[in-house]
Structures are given as C-alpha cells and as structure tokens.
Amino acid sequence: MAITGILSRERAEDRTLGTEHPENAPLSIDDMTVAYHHKPVLWDIEYDAPEKKLIGIIGPNGAGKSTLIKSVLDLVPRASGRVLIYGHPYAQQRHLVGYVPQRESVDWDFPVTALDVVTMGRYAKIGWCRPVTRTHREAARNAMDRVGMADYASRQISQLSGGQQQRIFLARALVQDAQLYFMDEPFSGVDAATEKAIITLLQDLLANGKTVLCVHHDLQTVPEYFDEVVLLNMRIVAAGPTRDVFTPEMLQKTYGGKLTLLDEAGHALARARRR
C-alpha cells in the first residue's frame, strides 16, 4: 500500500515536472483522453493555450474538435487527464469562461425573446433562485448592442435569421464577462454581415486582453482570422503560431486520410503555398 502510494505520487510529480505547464495559462490540458462508449475520440491531448490570442481549432469532420471543448467544460467525461483553467479546475473557474455552443444544438422555437437568451449568460452571476434585475437586463442589452442586435431585443428567437441567432449566442457569452472564450463553429452558416460582426468582435475581445479558442471549419480563412492554430485529428497534430503551424505538410498530416476533405484541404494547401 505504502509503496504503491509513493510510486503513484512519484509518477504524479514526474508528470508535472516533465511537461512543464506554465503556471497560469488560460487553458492547460494534460494527458487527456476522451472516449464515447469504449470508442476513443481524443487521445493523449497535451496543450497549453497562450494568453491573449485568437486560437483556431482546425481538423476534419469527426476529429473531436467539439469534443475537445466539451470535455474541457466538463460536459463530456474524460477517461483520463487533467484540465486547468488559469491554474485551477474548471468547476472553480466557471466565471472566467464564456461558452458559445453550436447554433444547431438548441431548439430555436423555444418561447423566449432574444433578450431572454442573452440574459441567460448572467444566470450564474445572479445566483440560484434569485430574480433577474434591471442591471442584468441592461448588461444583456449592452452585449446585444456590441453584436449589432440592439434592435432585436424583444424578438422571439424563432423569428431571427441564422446569423442573428449566432450573434445572440455570442452576446450571451459576452455578457458573462469572461477571460477565456470557447466558441464552437461560430462562423458556420452565417451571412456576410454576421461574419464581419464576429470578426470585429473577436478583434475587440483580443484588444481587451481576452483569449478565444474557436472551432473552425473553413480552412481558407484560417490565416486571416487566427494568430494561433491547433491542428487536431483525434490527437494534436501541431499547435502554435499560424505562420509556423498552418503549413502544407502539417495540413497534409491532419487531413491526410480523409478523402472527402481532400478537396477542401487541397485548396487551402494551394493558398498556403502561395503565401
């Protein structure tokens, strides 16, 4: 008993010494594996997110991009590994983390207004069983203003376009007033106006010292949008500054076996070569 105790402690020390995670990285993932019903989705993820950067999580379909975010937020159980947000487990750091789920993950026919949805971002701050006050609603209105949705506050959410719904989700994360944001495909299926609004918002967040991790699908726009990328295909293929990591070779490695995505990857490769 004692021996195994010492051994495991030693191993734990070994691990922390060996990987050298920075003290207060916004996100620090250590040896994380995630499985759905015996089928592993993510293997041995080691990652430390740099502070105050826009980080794109890139990879083919089924690479586990959404799962990565969800497991960090304790929405999907981890088979192993440890995740720290600014040096502490997520459960203690919820107030520092904003989350924008995929737009398709909810029923937009739900009987609430746009303002109601944005106000949901304040619920944790308001506390259990306490009523929503005017201050919180004002904060929600301000967040809606920042994404250009101020005029739509009293709209029922089913009457909004896809892009507007996405902006409502962004406003809901904004109103959390977090340090670190996780966004799951915010650019998917949005109109040009929303795309511009999101980019402006991301730059705005960056200027205010926030860190944003963003699952992204469109390879063409990666160098334009993100300072850093994480190339993911069940394992982390590469992670680092876009200039260094978003290279033809790395993309080939990430997308290699996926025939369906070769075309898209090919386009991006061509572009990357041209740069």
Partner 1 sequence: MNPGHNKHTRRRPAGVRRLYTAALILLGLTLALPGAEAVETRSITDTTVALPTVEKLVRVLSFDDYNLRVVALGSMMLGIAAGIVGSFMLLRRRALMGDAISHATLPGIGVAFLVMTSYGGSGKFLPGLLTGALVFGMIGMGLVLLIRTQTRLKEDAALGIVLSVFFGLGVALLGIIQQLNVGHAAGLESFIYGKTASMLASDAWLIGAAALVVIFLATIFFKEFSLVCFDQDYSNAQGRPSVKLDIIMMSLVVVVTVIGLQAVGLILMIALLIIPAAAARFWTYKLGRLILIAALIGEVSCLLGACISALAPRIPAGAVIVVVATGLFIISMIFGSARGVVHGTARHRRVRRTVERQHLLRALFEWNEEHAVPGKPATDAVVRSGMPLGELMQEQSWTHGVLRRAMRRARRDDLIRTGGGGRVQLTIEGLAAAERVVRNHRLWETYLITHADIAPIHVDSNADQIEHVLGHAMVAELERLSASEFPGRVVPPSPHVITRTARPAATGGGT
Work out whether 134 is an interface residue with partner 1 (CB under 8 A). yes
In angstroms, rounded to a whole number, what is the distance separating the alpha carbons of residues 208 and 194?
21
Contact between 46 and 236 under an 8 Å Cβ cutoff? The reply is yes
Q: Judged by CB under 8 A, which stretch of 51-59, 114-122, 211-219, 249-257 contacts partner 1?
A: 114-122
120 Ramachandran zone, left/alpha/beta (phi>0; psi -120 to 50)? alpha
Work out whether 128 is an interface residue with partner 1 (CB under 8 A). yes
Work out whether 6 is an interface residue with partner 1 (CB under 8 A). no
Work out whether 21 is an interface residue with partner 1 (CB under 8 A). no
Of 132 and 206, CB closest to partner 1: 132
Work out whether 156 is an interface residue with partner 1 (CB under 8 A). yes
In angstroms, rounded to a whole number, what is the distance separating the alpha carbons of residues 17 and 47?
15
Contact between 270 and 252 under an 8 Å Cβ cutoff? The reply is no
Identified binder of partner 1 from the candidate list 41, 58, 67, 116, rule CB under 8 A: 116
50 Ramachandran zone, left/alpha/beta (phi>0; psi -120 to 50)? beta
Identified binder of partner 1 from the candidate list 2, 3, 91, 259, rule CB under 8 A: 91
Work out whether 132 is an interface residue with partner 1 (CB under 8 A). yes
Secondary structure (DSSP) of 79-145: SEEEEEBTTB-HHHHGGGEEEE--GGGS-TTSS-BHHHHHHGGGHHHH-TT----HHHHHHHHHHHH
Work out whether 34 is an interface residue with partner 1 (CB under 8 A). no
In angstroms, rounded to a whole number, what is the distance separating the alpha carbons of residues 70 and 75?
5
Smallest gap, in angstroms, from Cβ of residue 265 to partner 1? 23
Contact between 31 and 16 under an 8 Å Cβ cutoff? The reply is no
Of 157 and 219, CB closest to partner 1: 157
* Placement of tokens 């390879």 in the chain: 219
Work out whether 126 is an interface residue with partner 1 (CB under 8 A). yes
Work out whether 150 is an interface residue with partner 1 (CB under 8 A). yes
Work out whether 124 is an interface residue with partner 1 (CB under 8 A). yes
Q: Judged by CB under 8 A, which stretch of 25-33, 42-50, 189-197, 238-246 contacts partner 1?
A: 189-197
Contact between 21 and 85 under an 8 Å Cβ cutoff? The reply is no
With CA atoms as reference, report the closest residue to 269 among 251, 257, 254.
251
Identified binder of partner 1 from the candidate list 192, 224, 259, 274, rule CB under 8 A: 192
Work out whether 39 is an interface residue with partner 1 (CB under 8 A). no
Q: Judged by CB under 8 A, which stretch of 1-9, 55-63, 73-81, 238-246 contacts partner 1?
A: 73-81
Smallest gap, in angstroms, from Cβ of residue 247 to partner 1? 28
Of 42 and 115, CB closest to partner 1: 115
Of 178 and 236, CB closest to partner 1: 178
Identified binder of partner 1 from the candidate list 79, 120, 206, 262, rule CB under 8 A: 120
**What stretch of H or E contains 256?**
none
Identified binder of partner 1 from the candidate list 29, 42, 85, 97, rule CB under 8 A: 97
In angstroms, rounded to a whole number, what is the distance separating the alpha carbons of residues 230 and 23?
20
